[in-house]
Amino acid sequence: MKRMSIEASLARSQAKITKFGVQSVVWAYNKVMRTALQGLHVDSKSLAAVKKLLKDGRRVVLMPVYRSFADLFTFVYIHQHFGIQPPFMLLSEKDQPPPALQYLLRSVGLVTYSLES
C-alpha cells in the first residue's frame, strides 16, 4: 500500500483513539467475556518486550491471528489493562463492521483501507 493511500484511508475513515471509545469497548468486553471465558492469558515476557520497545520510541506492529472484531476488542482491553497506549488497527473496506458499531470502532482506532486507492 502506498504512503498516500494510508494517509487518505486514515482521513477517510475518521479514526481516532478516544478515552470514551476505549472505556466503552473495555466495559463491553468485560461484560461479554466474564460469562464466555474463564480467563485471558497474556504472555508476560512478550508484553514486557512490547512495552520496552514502545518506551524506547520504537514502532510496534501487532498482527491479529483471526479476522474478527474480537481481536480488536481483545487488543484494546489488554492495552488498557496493562497501561499501554492503544494501537490503530487496519480493516479492509470490504469487511465493514455493522453500521451500529462503526462509530465505536472508529473511536478505538479502527482505520479502514482500500487496496484500490
Specify the pTM. Answer: 0.57
Q: Which residue has the higher pLDDT, 52 or 22?
A: 52
Amino acid letter at 17?
A: I
CA distances from 9 to 20, 24, 85, 102 (A): 23, 24, 21, 15
- The torsion angles phi and psi of 89, rounded to 5 degrees, stand at -130, 145
Q: What is the pLDDT of residues 37-59, one digit of tens each?
A: 666 677 888 888 888 988 898 87
Question: SS3 of 89, please?
Answer: strand
What number of other Cβ atoms are within 10 A of residue 116's Cβ? 6
> What's the whole-number average pLDDT of the chain?
76
**Residue located via cell numbers 479476522:** 67
In 3D space, the residue among 90, 70, 83 whose CA is nearest the CA of residue 28 turns out to be 70
